[in-house]
Chains A and B, each alone.
Chain A
Amino acid sequence: MRNHVLRPLFAALALVALILTARQLMVPSDFGVHGDSFTYNFYRADSVNDWKKFPVSYKGREYCAECHEDNTESITKSKHAIIQCENCHGPAMQHPDNPEALTINRSRDLCLRCHLDLPYPGSQRGELPAIDPNDHNPEQECVECHNPHNPNLEDME
């Protein structure tokens, strides 16, 4: 029994061995330093693929133009050409498989994002055509008079 003093040490070593074994089993093999720096590049490599696989929701105007050529063409001729279809029509993610998922926003609030009068010098905002929503036909939706695909005031009906 001379060496009973070492028993807790053996137990401690067994614990460390256990942790290292668990580590071997639990940690994916692609975990490591992928780059120059342990500080910034220590990670599970496959995580990058997880992010690459994330689904795309906003598909862009070209995707809409594949079917809705007339609408995309009319808007590209107008001052609203700079606005993407999906800003007002919602992300095309499940469209056309699930037409209901596409929610068109026709609200006044949507137009006011740009056209609420904020006279800010030194910002492009001050140069946009703008209204005071309390004075300018407060109860009506903008789209009742203005055509968002062709907002030209001269072409208004």
Chain B
Amino acid sequence: MVDQLLANSDLIAHGMEWTTKEGFVYPNEFIYWSIQIVLYPYMTGLVAGAFVLSSLYHVFGQEDLKDMARFSLVFSLACLPVAMMPLLMHLQQPFRGMEVLFTPHFTSAISAFGIIFTTYSIIVLSEIWFVYRVYFVEQINALKGKKDLVSSFMRTLYIILALGAYDLSNEAVAIDKKAVKILAGIGIPVACFLHGYAGFIFGSVKANALWMSPLMPVIFIMSAVVSGIALCMLTYIIIMEWKKFTTTLAKGRGDESVQLIKGAEVDVIHKTSRYLIGFLIAAITLELLDQIFRGYTAMKSWDILRSVMYGKDFVNIFILQYLFGNLVPFIMLLIPKASIKRTSVALALILFGVFMMRWNVVIGGQAFSLSFDGFMHYSMPIIPHSMETFKEGLFGALLVGATPFILFWLLNKVIPSLHFTKK
């Protein structure tokens, strides 16, 4: 049987279809890590960011984030599988993925994924349970008399979800709140760790001249916080604008409450963008330090790194990532009296800049050969003609990108997070 498979003329070596070689490249070298591995650190960064934002309310009691906290907590649950999805889609043997939990080889950075991811999932799920327990019990009571299929199904579901904890006394609810606070506090470092170790995966590969740097995990955490805050701010703006819009429809443009919402929105955005700028400065400083150090020490690999950075990938690195992804939004945020519109554009650019940073690390790190004498170019498969080109191409990436929104929609059927408290 193997003979037949080997003789199959349609056989394709992994990476062959999207890699073009130039100069002297070893025969087995291809772009083995493609778009899914670009998405993986990008998505985990966003998850961590969303969780951190919800924790700001629960731990530090930022009252103006109350509506956002529920939303971002449920959104970070919807994003959870997406941190794992790119990895599973990238595996050649996805069904063996569980082995990471069964026989973890702890000298490998990837082996920690199973344990950190499970821990983080448990924290997020427990926190949601405490936040929604009261709601579960209320629903169980509300659906009691109804006989239709949907209602009885939902009631059964809520009974299972409530885990038999029906106590709605003030004491019990207070305990819930305290537990949420503790879990959110533990969650912050775990979320950062979940992301920092993604940087370690790359930084510890000594064979790759671009990746190997002890700064890599720190750079990854910084840019994750940047992208996380940016996404949350952007979502916050969208929700507040929507809220403003519905209030305007209901009460008219000149109503006091519209002005109130607007004032609160601008205030929160201004406060948060100060943190964003701070983390952005830290991220850029570290990246520049890394580059300057490489150029100054000029190890053997510098010649080829230079020709990638200042030649082949110049547009990706200096124009798209640093100029449009960092410098332009940085200036836009620094100029006083930032309008909501301007801030939104800056935030979108920052999200794009962080994505380009991931791209330039993952794809850029494979743009040169281990021989230091040749280059590889990645052309992302657009129209898939096989499972492989689907998974490692545009549509695979879009699937990963769309999943959190589909999950979020499904989750909201059970744990609604978009009903805002009326003031």
Contact = CB atoms under 8 A, between A and B. Distances in A.
A23 B163 contact: no
Interface in A101-139: none
Interface in A3-36: 4-5, 7-9, 11-12, 15, 19, 22-23, 26-27, 31
Contact of B172 (A1, A19, A27): A1
A47 to B, nearest CB: 12
B111 to A, nearest CB: 10
Contacts of B129: 7-8
Contacts of B179: 5
A23 B125 contact: no
A12 B122 contact: yes
B102 A39 contact: no
Nearest to A37: B107
Interface string B72-116: 000000000000000000000000001101110111000000000
A91 to B, nearest CB: 12
A38 interface: yes
B4 to A, nearest CB: 14
B315 interface: no
Nearest to A13: B122
A5 B101 CA distance: 27
Contacts of A11: 126, 163
A31 B133 CA distance: 43
Contacts of A19: 101, 118
Contacts of A26: 98-99, 102
A27 B165 contact: no
B101 A8 contact: no
Given A23-B101, A26-B98, A31-B103, A5 B175 contact: yes
Nearest to A9: B126
B122 A23 contact: no
Contact of B107 (A7, A23, A39): A39
Nearest to A1: B167
A42 interface: yes
B242 interface: no
Interface in B125-164: 125-126, 129-130, 133, 163-164
B212 to A, nearest CB: 18
B107 A8 contact: no
Contact of A1 (B125, B126, B130, B165): B165
B166 interface: yes
B122 A1 contact: no
Contacts of B98: 22, 26
Residue with the highest number of chain B CB atoms closer than 10 Å, among A1, A11, A19? A1
B163 to A, nearest CB: 5
A8 B179 CA distance: 11
B185 to A, nearest CB: 15
Given A12-B122, A42-B105, A1 B166 contact: yes
A4 B165 contact: yes
B102 A27 contact: yes
A27 B103 contact: yes
Nearest to A42: B105
B102 A8 contact: no
Contacts of B126: 8-9, 11-12
Contacts of A38: 105-107
Contact of B165 (A7, A9, A22, A31): A7
Contacts of B101: 19, 23
B100 to A, nearest CB: 11
B102 A23 contact: yes
Contacts of A12: 122, 126
A7 B176 CA distance: 12
B163 A7 contact: yes
Residue with the highest number of chain A CB atoms closer than 10 Å, among B165, B172, B176? B165
A39 to B, nearest CB: 5
Contacts of A8: 122, 125-126, 129-130, 163
Contacts of B176: 5
Contacts of A42: 103, 105
Contacts of A23: 101-103
A9 B126 CA distance: 8
A65 to B, nearest CB: 27
A154 B225 CA distance: 80
A26 B172 CA distance: 41
A12 B164 CA distance: 16
Contacts of B167: 1, 4
The 6 closest A-B pairs by CB, nearest first: A1-B167, A4-B165, A8-B126, A23-B102, A12-B122, A7-B163
Given A4-B165, A19-B101, 14 more contacts: A1-B166, A4-B167, A4-B172, A5-B175, A5-B179, A7-B164, A7-B165, A8-B130, A12-B122, A22-B98, A23-B103, A26-B102, A27-B103, A38-B107
28 contacts: A1-B165, A1-B166, A4-B133, A4-B167, A4-B175, A5-B175, A5-B176, A7-B163, A7-B165, A8-B125, A8-B126, A9-B126, A12-B126, A19-B101, A19-B118, A22-B98, A22-B102, A23-B103, A26-B98, A26-B99, A26-B102, A27-B102, A27-B103, A31-B103, A38-B106, A38-B107, A39-B107, A42-B105
